[in-house]
Amino acid sequence: MSLNKLTIDNLKKLFSELILILEANENGDIDYQISEVKYVIKLLNQCIDNNYVDLDSVINEIKSIYKNLYPPRGGLSEFFIWKADFDERIKANEPLGKIGDELWKILK
């Protein structure tokens, strides 16, 4: 996927959705990830406000942050929303999985 203005807009949408989910399910274990996602949104907003100037550098910084958010073990790779009922848990975590998949496709 070409990293262009549309990609930046899509990343902003995905990270904005992610922060809503993380903040709604914050349990003290993901404070670092929440602060990093907020920082990514700030970077994306600055990029958009500056008419996408320095796009490559912004994308590279976001890729680096993404790797720290989704390491092979820990971080958001292992984060999930707990619900006692299995079906509710699957349904609650579905958006989180879709966002993670989309971010991976863009930033891999």
For residue range 44-67, list pLDDT tens digits in order.
Answer: 999 999 988 888 899 999 999 999
DSSP state of 53: T
Q: Which residues contact 28 (CB under 8 A, 6 or more apart)?
A: none
69 and 100 in contact (C-beta within 8 Å)?
no
Max alpha carbon distance in the chain (Å)? 47
Q: Domain 5-107 belongs to what topology? A: de novo design (two linked rop proteins) (1.20.1440)
**Residue 85 phi, psi (nearest 5):** -80, 125
DSSP helix, strand, coil percent of the chain (3-state; round to 5): 75, 0, 25
pLDDT along the chain (108 residues), means of 10: 77 97 89 96 94 87 94 88 95 96 93
Domain ranges of the chain: 5-107
Predicted TM-score of the model (pTM): 0.89
